[in-house]
Amino acid sequence: ESSDHESSLGLSKTSVDHLFIQASKQWLRGQDVPKEKRKSRIIRWLQYRGFNWGVISIILKKLESQHPP
């Protein structure tokens, strides 16, 4: 059940989905940039907004699965 996992992040599924859409825009904006650099940009972008590593890693996994290199 994924809701337990999400509640431990302090974010609802809707919030995670919304955040993922925002992160996707950031990700796609950097298409000419190497993948590692794109990842570090997303990490910085999320950390700046105060998200913890649990949230950041979920967003990164989703980005990588939806936007393969």
Instruction: Summarize pLDDT for 5-64 with one digit per residue, the tens.
Output: 555 677 888 999 999 999 999 999 988 999 899 999 999 999 999 999 999 999 999 999
- DSSP code per residue over the chain: -HHHHHHHHT--HHHHHHHHHHHHHHHHHTTTS-HHHHHHHHHHHHHHTT--HHHHHHHHHHHHHHS--
Is-above-0.85 flag for pTM?
A: no
Place of tokens 């940009």: 41
* Residue 1 pLDDT exceeds 70: no
Q: How far apart are the first and last CA of the chain?
A: 29
Instruction: List the one residue out of 30, 28, 25, 3 whose CA is nearest residue 15.
Output: 3
